[in-house]
């Protein structure tokens, strides 16, 4: 085996961009690249380690002996070590052995830019390539028309390891198996997108993937990188978009990871008040360091580029934005203006969003941000952070709190439901019922519902009907769509056997029909982020616990009338005010018998009378199902 030969993929311009925090394609330079130099095949290695005295590549090819293959440090003070090693092949395992200038500390690290990693608990990086023949051109050419803010976004949130298991072998499904089972199920149930909880390599299963080590490698738990590409490809061919959870908020301090990488605080902030997360006992990126910004934004673009992701849901944004997040007095330092906002984070998030939207058409970034930080989903050009959407955490908490209440008491708490409309259009909100709501003793979504079994499922269908007709987009965690009874377990499987029972299959059928309702009625998505797309009919009938409202599209003829009855009492001849004469035709009812409901529906078209009601000139008398949602189409004839 020959020694390391001088070679570089970097230009002076690359280095200047890297130092300025503006190099967003670092994955084309740093890492391990299978190349040919002067007719000789091998691997070019490059790693950023500015505090290193020496850097060696150790691996299968040199029996993991330090010093056998030492990289060369660049002359330009970039801190990049590089070199070409002939004869190294795809599939070779390797790490970087780094001796630091700081007291000679030696670290042994996985490659931050590795494309593939050993299956945990093994920790080496693996030489790999990204060769794959995509077959999703139709999707990629048209996704701009499917991922717009005026298009349906009904998202199925999935944890790959526990969606379904191979029971005979007691293991999770592989990427290739999921490309058949998951794709068929999502298509059948009608969701427009899937959102994968983090699939980047992570060492610790109970972290659910939220403590990453291999930022550029899909986890090897379920197969090879090309296998994951195949899964994305199959979803796209089925007309389903793919959103990836992305975690730039923190990372673990595992010995082979990014922490203390070259014997210094390279990726993490050196001040523990900014560089350590007390809740998760993890390290926080130094968002003010240009090279770290290049690393993170390059990583975001990498998944959009090489894995055809249609969106990135950014985890724990609130923890990034506030210097005092989960910190007591004296444990944080104000910014230069005396405030609690992390100015470096704000600048970084704006750069990230600008890079994503300027480089890729038809993608979205979504912030999991739980506070009232302003303009999260507004363009950077007007002072916003630049995200496409933001999770509506307030709606989630208020709504679940309401549904926990016995129906007899709901008339005293109508504000829990109506309050969301006071701020619904301050951001582009996605309504989430996510994985965080079905763990740690919170119960499943079904388990939050009150009443006997019939009422619990009726409440669940009512919740979903209200959710799908509320302004904004939707996200539902796996299992909630069929009424999973137990809390989610990351090391188990969803209880698929429940679908043999009427209540559960009925709930899944209800979700399928709600997805169809959402996708085929422009009134539910064309103006889903605009106050022009919503109008109350009556929000003050707390005595009967009934809400009624209009959802509007670009054309009046597309308008829908929605009436929600939050009690188990059937309400005959319930009158609502309407803006014009004509007829109402019921197009959805959550109490259908096929959903295991009681079958109280409005079977015939309902004439709109010239009788003033709710401050309007016209009105109609409806039959409201118990614990049900009714949706009507208006015919002006």
Domain of 619: which CATH number? 2.60.40.1180
- Say whether pLDDT at 412 is over 60: yes
Q: Stretch 124-153: mean pLDDT, rounded?
A: 96
Residue 390: pLDDT band (50, 70, 90) is very high
Structural domain includes residue 131: no
d(CA 276, CA 260): 12
Residue % of the chain over a pLDDT of 90: 96
Beta strands in 539-609 (DSSP E): 546-551, 560-565, 571-578, 582-589, 606-608
Structural domain includes residue 97: yes
Q: Which two tokens stand for residue 52?
A: 């290193």
Give the DSSP H/E element, type plus range, for residue 462.
helix 453-469
Mean pLDDT score across all residues of the chain? 96
Structural domain includes residue 161: no
Instruction: Name, in order, each residue with C-beta under 8 angstroms of 261's C-beta and a sequence gap of 6 or more.
Output: 49, 98, 107, 109, 112, 267
- Say whether pLDDT at 1 is over 50: no
CATH number at residue 53: 2.60.40.10
Q: Stretch 489-496: mean pLDDT, rounded?
A: 96
Q: What is the pLDDT of residue 637?
A: 63
Count of structural domains within the chain: 2
277-281, 462-466, 472-476: segment of lowest average pLDDT: 277-281
| Domain end call among 108, 126, 144 | 126
Q: Which two tokens stand for residue 98?
A: 């780094």
pLDDT in tens, 62-113: 999 988 899 999 999 999 999 999 999 999 999 999 999 988 899 999 999 9
Q: What is the pLDDT of residue 9?
A: 95
| Domain end call among 106, 126, 146 | 126
Contact 89, 83 (CB under 8 A): no
Structural domain includes residue 553: yes
Q: Which two tokens stand for residue 294?
A: 């290049």
Q: What is the pLDDT of residue 220?
A: 98
Q: What is the pLDDT of residue 103?
A: 82
Q: Which two tokens stand for residue 415?
A: 């504000």
| Domain end call among 126, 157, 177 | 126
Q: Stretch 239-261: mean pLDDT, rounded?
A: 97
d(CA 110, CA 203): 12
- Say whether pLDDT at 229 is over 90: yes
d(CA 509, CA 466): 16
Residue 557: pLDDT band (50, 70, 90) is confident
d(CA 205, CA 224): 18
d(CA 528, CA 518): 11
DSSP assignment of 193-259, as one string?
A: EEEESP-EE-S-GGGTT-S-SEEEEE-GGG--HHHHHHHHHHHHHTT-EEEEEE--S-B---TTSST
Q: Which residues carry out catalysis?
A: 315, 368
- Say whether pLDDT at 302 is over 50: yes
- Say whether pLDDT at 2 is over 60: no
Q: What is the pLDDT of residue 66?
A: 85
Q: Which two tokens stand for residue 83?
A: 């070199």
- Say whether pLDDT at 553 is over 80: yes
d(CA 155, CA 191): 6
d(CA 100, CA 261): 9
- Say whether pLDDT at 349 is over 70: yes
* Residue burial 437-447, b: 16+ Cβ < 10 Å; e: rest: bbbeeebbbbb
Structural domain includes residue 84: yes
The domain of 546 spans 532-635
Q: Stretch 520-549: mean pLDDT, rounded?
A: 97
- Say whether pLDDT at 551 is over 50: yes
Q: Stretch 450-461: mean pLDDT, rounded?
A: 97
């Amino acid at each position: 085996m020959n020694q390391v030969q001088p070679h570089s993929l970097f230009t002076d311009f690359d280095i200047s961009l890297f130092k300025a925090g503006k190099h967003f394609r670092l994955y084309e330079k740093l890492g391990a690249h299978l190349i040919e130099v002067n007719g000789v095949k091998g691997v070019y290695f490059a790693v950023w380690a500015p505090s290193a005295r020496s850097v060696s590549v150790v691996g299968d090819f040199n029996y993991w002996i330090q010093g056998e293959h030492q990289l060369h440090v660049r002359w330009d003070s970039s801190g990049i070590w590089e070199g070409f090693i002939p004869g190294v092949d795809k599939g070779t395992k390797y790490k970087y052995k780094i001796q630091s200038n700081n007291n000679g500390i030696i670290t042994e690290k996985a490659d931050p830019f590795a494309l593939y990693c050993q299956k945990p608990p093994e920790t080496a990086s693996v030489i790999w390539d990204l060769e794959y023949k995509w077959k999703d051109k139709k999707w990629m050419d048209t996704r701009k028309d499917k991922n717009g803010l005026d298009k349906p976004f009904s998202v199925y949130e999935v944890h790959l390891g526990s969606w379904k298991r191979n029971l005979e072998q007691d293991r999770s499904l592989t990427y290739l198996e999921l490309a058949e089972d998951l794709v068929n199920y999502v298509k059948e149930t009608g969701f427009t997108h899937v959102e994968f909880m983090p699939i980047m390599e992570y060492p610790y299963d109970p972290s659910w993937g939220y403590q990453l080590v291999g930022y550029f490698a899909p986890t090897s738990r379920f197969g090879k990188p090309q296998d994951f590409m195949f899964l994305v490809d199959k979803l796209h061919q089925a007309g389903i978009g793919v959103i990836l959870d992305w975690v730039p908020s923190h990372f673990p301090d595992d010995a082979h990871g990014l922490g203390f990488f070259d014997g210094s605080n390279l990726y993490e902030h050196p001040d523990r008040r900014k560089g350590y997360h007390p809740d998760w006992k993890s390290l926080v990126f130094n968002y003010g360091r240009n090279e770290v910004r290049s690393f993170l934004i390059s990583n975001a673009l990498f998944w959009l580029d090489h894995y055809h992701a249609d969106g990135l849901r950014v985890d724990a944004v609130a923890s990034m934005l506030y210097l005092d997040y989960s910190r007591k007095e004296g444990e944080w330092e104000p910014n230069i203006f005396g405030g609690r906002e992390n100015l470096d984070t704000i600048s970084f998030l704006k750069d990230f969003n600008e890079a994503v939207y300027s480089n890729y058409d038809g993608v979205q970034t979504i912030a999991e941000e739980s506070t009232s930080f302003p303009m999260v989903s507004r363009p950077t050009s007007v002072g916003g952070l630049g995200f496409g959407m933001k999770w509506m955490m307030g709606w989630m908490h208020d709504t679940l709190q309401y549904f926990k209440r016995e129906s007899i008491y709901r008339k005293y708490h109508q504000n829990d439901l109506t309050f969301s409309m006071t701020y619904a259009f301050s951001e582009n909100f996605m309504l989430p019922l996510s994985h965080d709501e079905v763990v740690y003793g919170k119960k499943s979504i079904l388990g939050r519902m009150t009443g006997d079994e019939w009422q619990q499922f009726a409440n669940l269908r009512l919740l979903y009907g209200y959710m799908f007709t509320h302004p904004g987009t939707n996200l539902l965690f796996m299992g909630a769509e069929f009424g999973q009874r137990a809390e989610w377990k990351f090391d188990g499987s969803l209880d698929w056997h429940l679908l043999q029972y009427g209540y559960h299959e009925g709930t899944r059928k209800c979700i399928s029909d709600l997805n169809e309702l959402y996708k085929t009625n422009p009134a539910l998505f064309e103006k889903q982020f605009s106050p022009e797309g919503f109008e109350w009919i009556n929000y003050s009938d707390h005595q009967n616990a009934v809400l009624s409202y209009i959802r509007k599209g670009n054309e009046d003829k597309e308008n829908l009338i929605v009436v929600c009855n939050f009690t188990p009492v059937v309400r005959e001849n319930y009158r609502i005010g309407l803006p014009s004469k004509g007829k109402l035709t019921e197009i959805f009812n959550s109490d259908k018998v096929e959903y295991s409901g009681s079958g109280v529906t409005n079977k015939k078209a309902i004439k709109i009378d010239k009788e003033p009601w709710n401050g309007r000139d016209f009105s109609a008398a409806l039959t409201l199902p118990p614990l049900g949602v009714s949706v009507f189409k208006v015919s002006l004839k």
